Amino acid sequence: MDLAFFAPLPEHAQADAVEPLHLAMSSWSEDQAHGVAVAGLLGRAAEAVVRRRRPELVPTRVTVDLFAPTRMQPAWTTTQVVRESRRLALVDVTLHQEGGPTARASSLWLRPTEDAPGDTWSNPDRPEAPPLDVAPVTDQPHVPFIHSSAGWSQDFRQHQDGSRKTYWNTAPAIVLGEQVTPFQAVAASADGNSLASNWGSAGVQHINADVTLTLARLPIGVTVGLRALDRVEVDGVAVSSCTVFDRHGPLGTTVVTSMANTRRGIDMGGRRWEDDPRSEPGV
């Protein structure tokens, strides 16, 4: 396993310290890690705490606040169990660097039981995964597939338009030498909301301030899709939501609040990424 967002730093003074690798580099700045990597690292830390203490619980919500740039420098996490009871655990995680904290996550884990009786409404508009001849089932990371009015492809030049988009990606390892888990994969992928909802005819012109992922179940495997559900923008502040799904159906939703960043917008249509995860875009 040679592709990951971070590498461990066992000799660092802080326990569980890691160093961002090239795959974590943001398109906004070569000195900044993108939100997918940051969200994945925070999710990894929360999952480790819950799996040690309460392995029967399942993740149902993760909210990540991206309040300062995470630099391409050593980082480490601290965790706090805010609340634990028979039916739930609430775990907070903070990401630190030498200059201070850069991001935090609040995660909620619940004890599963059985479905409630009765009929309730659900959205009949279901997202569809790309055909298998376009995106075969795999656990190997790859450049994301995008669907727009141009159909499915990995050629981002075809998708720089104002149409509804779907993002489909197989997550790499969060930390080098570790197998990515389904929860880590979906926690990281939630930040891909940008490519599904904030990518328009002028490129990606908004930078995420936070991301909230809600889950009814974990993905089967480590490949996750995001389909744009809704988007509202007023005075440069945008709120966008996506349906999160895998080949077996919807998992939950992701909601992102973002700010216009037009002076440093990213022209996704002017780039071509080869199907090599080392060149995977991060925004």
DSSP 29-69: -TTBB-HHHHHHHHHHHHHHHHHHH-TT-EEEEEEEE--S-
pLDDT at res. 20: 98
Element (H, E) at 6: strand 4-8
Specify the pTM.
0.93
Q: Work out the percent of the chain whose per-residue pLDDT is above 90.
A: 87
Please tell me the distance from the alpha carbon of residue 182 to that of residue 179, in angstroms, as a whole number.
Answer: 10
The pLDDT tens digits for 73-95 are 999 999 999 999 999 999 999 99
CA dihedral 152, 156, 158, 160 (to 10 degrees): 120
Distance from chain centroid for Cα 53:
25
The pLDDT tens digits for 36-48 are 999 999 999 999 9
The pLDDT tens digits for 5-24 are 999 999 898 989 999 999 99
- Residue 274 above 80 pLDDT? no
Mean pLDDT throughout 257-279?
A: 72
Distance from chain centroid for Cα 109:
18
pLDDT at res. 269: 74
3-state secondary structure 70-138: CECCCEEEEEEEEEECCCEEEEEEEEEECCEEEEEEEEEEECCCCCCCCCCCCCCCCCCCCCCCCCCCC
